[in-house]
């Protein structure tokens, strides 16, 4: 039975999930078009050179056939198990990290189909009936995953599509998109519902990027609004105004949310004491850390760690904002 990602609760053998999300920008994958194929389909092993935290301008339908682990989609950290199938929209960063023994390889773990927005929209102009999947494409910008019976149906079509060619393959792709489209809301889950397209306000967007770059580079240390404003070449009031306009939260709230997100991942991927997790997340005062954690997550760090994976809140951080996208290509 397929399962939609929930909060990360696996004991990973490395801290890769933390390393990929905090302190590293996702590489922009270049997928060269093939003059004789409308879409790209492939299977690959894990680990593989093409695995990793990345983004690309193509839509991607992704099926995990083996292993369990952690999935990162935009600002979401969750878990996966065999049978998880999802569609990622253009430029949405993503990665699947399997919890396997070092030195082992999971063959054909990933089944992948990729296609461009230009191609699929062009098909809609020629075949109006295809517009019935427009909503799916729009939802994929935040990562759309299936669960329950529809996930099983989609996984079967996906495997057939990857192995097909020609007209048959294209037909199966649209059949697969239709499964996503007609699935009831109870079997569809947005993985990163607060992740949206970048702001159309270029200056506000650049302000957020400069601010978030600075936060990520100093996540465990001292962060000052004055320094962030200086890096954006703005006064503090102007910086604060543009940052709030583009992100939906204040600069200080963004710092809190990203630090608590980091703490959540440390609590689920390490056995470090809560005090050590607080320090590693930029908090010098344990009482303040506990207070901020409870505000964002709804429980104490110890309570969060003690819960089983399925009992933890699905997306505890960010819980109250991050309305606009952060262009993670600039985050370092």
Q: What's the token pair of residue 111?
A: 């089944």
pLDDT at residue number 316: 40
Q: Which residues make Cβ contacts (< 8 Å) with residue 18, sequence separation at least 6?
A: 262, 265, 266, 269
Is the pLDDT at 1 greater than 50? The verdict is: no
Classify domain 202-311 at the CATH class level: mainly alpha
Is the pLDDT at 150 greater than 90? The verdict is: yes
Q: Which own/partner pairs from 116-122 qualify as long-range (CB within 8 Å, at least 24 positions apart)?
A: 116/33, 116/57, 116/58, 116/59, 117/57, 117/58, 117/59, 117/90, 119/38, 119/39, 120/59
Instruction: Determine the 3-state secondary structure of 97 from DSSP.
Output: strand
pLDDT at residue number 219: 84
pLDDT at residue number 66: 95
pLDDT digits (tens, 9 = 90+) for 173-196: 999 999 999 999 999 999 988 765
Distance CA 207, CA 204 (A): 5
16-190 fold: Jelly Rolls (2.60.120)
- Give the Å distances, CA to CA, from 98 to 26, 101, 171: 18, 9, 31
pLDDT digits (tens, 9 = 90+) for 215-273: 888 888 899 999 998 888 887 887 887 787 766 678 898 898 888 888 988 998 899 99
| Burial category of 223 from C-beta neighbours within 10 Å (exposed 0-12, middle 13-18, buried 19 and up) | buried
Percent of the chain with pLDDT over 70: 78
Is the pLDDT at 79 greater than 80? The verdict is: yes
Is the pLDDT at 2 greater than 70? The verdict is: no
Q: For residues 22 and 292, which has the higher predicted lDDT (pLDDT)?
A: 292
Domain boundaries along the sequence of the chain = 16-190, 202-311
Quickly state the pLDDT bin for 309 (edges 50, 70, 90). Answer: low
Is the pLDDT at 318 greater than 50? The verdict is: no
Distance CA 5, CA 196 (A): 19
Instruction: Determine the 3-state secondary structure of 44 from DSSP.
Output: strand
pLDDT digits (tens, 9 = 90+) for 89-134: 998 888 998 888 888 999 999 999 999 999 999 999 999 999 999 9
pLDDT at residue number 268: 87
pLDDT digits (tens, 9 = 90+) for 28-73: 555 656 666 899 999 999 988 778 878 888 999 999 999 998 888 8
Distance CA 177, CA 154 (A): 9
Distance CA 332, CA 212 (A): 9
């Amino acid at each position: 039975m397929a399962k939609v990602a929930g909060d990360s609760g696996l004991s990973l053998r490395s801290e890769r999930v933390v390393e990929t999300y905090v302190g590293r920008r996702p590489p922009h994958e270049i997928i060269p078009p093939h003059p004789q194929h409308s879409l790209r389909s492939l299977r690959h092993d894990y680990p593989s050179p093409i695995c990793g935290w990345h983004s690309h301008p193509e839509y991607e339908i992704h099926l995990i056939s083996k292993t369990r682990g952690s999935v990162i989609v935009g600002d979401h950290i969750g878990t996966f198990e065999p049978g998880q199938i999802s569609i990622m929209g253009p430029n949405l960063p993503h990665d699947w990290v399997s919890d396997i023994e070092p030195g082992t390889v999971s063959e054909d773990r990933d089944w992948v189909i990729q296609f461009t927005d230009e191609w699929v929209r062009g098909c809609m102009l020629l075949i109006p009936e295809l517009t019935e999947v427009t909503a799916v494409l729009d939802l994929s910008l935040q990562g759309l995953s299936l669960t329950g019976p529809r996930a099983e149906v989609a996984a079967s079509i996906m495997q057939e599509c990857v192995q097909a060619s020609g007209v048959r393959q294209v037909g199966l792709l649209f059949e697969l998109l239709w499964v996503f489209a007609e699935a009831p809301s109870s079997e569809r889950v947005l993985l990163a519902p607060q992740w949206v397209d970048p702001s159309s306000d270029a200056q506000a967007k650049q302000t957020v990027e400069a601010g978030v770059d600075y936060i990520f580079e100093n996540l465990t240390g001292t962060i000052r609004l004055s320094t962030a404003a200086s890096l954006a070449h703005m006064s503090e009031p102007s910086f604060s105004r543009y940052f709030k306009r583009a992100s939906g939260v204040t600069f200080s709230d963004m710092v809190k949310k990203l630090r608590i997100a980091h703490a959540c991942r440390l609590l689920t991927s390490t056995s470090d004491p809560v005090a050590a997790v607080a320090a590693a997340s930029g908090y010098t005062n344990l009482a303040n850390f506990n207070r901020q954690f409870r505000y964002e997550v709804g429980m104490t760090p110890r309570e969060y760690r003690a819960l089983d994976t399925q009992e933890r809140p699905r997306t505890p951080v960010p819980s109250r904002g991050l309305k606009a996208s952060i262009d993670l290509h600039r985050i370092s």
